[in-house]
Homo-oligomer: A and B are copies of this chain.
Amino acid sequence: MAKYRDLILEIIKASSGHMTAEAIYLEAKKLQPSIAVGTVYRNLRLMTEAGEIKRVVMANSPDIFDISTHPHAHLICQKCHTIADFSISNLEEHLQKLTGLEILGYDLNVRYICNICKKKGIG
């Protein structure tokens, strides 16, 4: 059982660490041609709920699954939608102090234009 869990984990790891469900499905299909989209989504959902991976929700593009589950922020290029991780030390504690609330976690997406897209210019 959990036949495809490890496969999916390996695929995400082998990438930059951030992949859409569709990209994972296409990769998985190369190795296991009989795999169905539903299976990929189902496993991604279960793995997310189990805390093995993290789902990143962004504007204007499908959800991304992130191999690293520790708290960190995402730099998101507004043109190519590529994601880069970066961590801000003690942000969770800082938020906790600021709000006086019991924080469960945070999602921080920082918008910018990556260097590659910048060089390509406007358009």
Contact = CB atoms under 8 A, between A and B. Distances in A.
Given A57-B58, A86-B98, A88-B98, A106 B103 contact: no
- How often does this chain occur in the complex, in copies? 2
Contacts of A43: none
A111 B104 CA distance: 5
Interface residues of A, number: 25
Interface string A98-123: 11011111111111110000000000
Contacts of A57: 57-59
Contacts of A104: 78, 111-113
Contacts of A55: 59
A21 interface: no
A108 B105 contact: no
A78 B104 CA distance: 9
Given A57-B57, A57-B58, A75 B88 contact: no
Interface in A70-108: 73, 75, 78, 86, 88, 95, 98-99, 101-108
A101 B118 CA distance: 12
5 closest A-B pairs by beta carbon, nearest first, are A104-B111, A107-B109, A57-B59, A106-B110, A105-B111
